Amino acid sequence: MVIHTPALDVLLMRRADGGEHWQCVTGSKDSLDEPWHATAAREVQEETGMDVNAPGCVLSDWYLENVYDIWPQWRHRYAPGVVFNRERVFGLCVPQGTPVALSPREHVAFEWLPWREAADRCFSSSNAEACLLLPRFV
């Protein structure tokens, strides 16, 4: 999920368990039948305190998916035997100055950065790619 302002500043958060790992909002479906939009809205609320339905906010499904190996040290977060993850890419445009309330068990800091700088800071290559695609989807 690329959360951004109309000026294309992107919200990045530093993981609580990842040293200097900066990322966009990420997450998983609660169930196989949870719609992608519902997953995106829930993860944004859990990680940033933002409501995707607040005035001035626009949530958009970019209809892009990434499939990647789950690193062995993070496989404990998934069902036994799950070694691949499928990630759906969304964008959320928020008004400049939208407050951020981090979930302290997940993230310890945040920054708003211009989209290219945000891509450079991302730990995840798929997050970086999504930041670089931002101008195409606004």
Q: Give pLDDT tens digits for 21-40.
A: 999 998 888 888 999 999 99
The pTM for the full model equals: 0.90
Residue type, position 45, single letter: Q
Set out the domains of the chain in order of their start, with CATH numbers: 2-137 (3.90.79.10)
Specify the DSSP element, H or E, that contains 133: helix 125-133
Residue 73 confidence (pLDDT):
82
Q: Can you spell out the DSSP letters for 32-85?
A: TTS-HHHHHHHHHHHHH---TTSTT-EEEEEEEEEEEEPPGGGGGGS-TT--EE
What pLDDT, on a 0 to 100 scale, did the predictor assign at position 118?
98
pLDDT (average), residues 76-99: 89
Instruction: Please check the confidence at residue 68 and state whether its pLDDT lies above 90.
Output: no
Tokens (6 digits) for 58: 């626009």
Q: Is the pLDDT of residue 111 over 80?
A: yes
Higher pLDDT, 124 or 117: 117
pLDDT at 74 > cutoff 80: no
Q: What's the pLDDT at 78?
A: 77
Confidence of residue 52 (pLDDT cuts 50, 70, 90): very high
Please enumerate in sequence order all residues whose Cβ is within 8 A of that of 73, keeping only pairs 6 or more positions apart, or say none: none
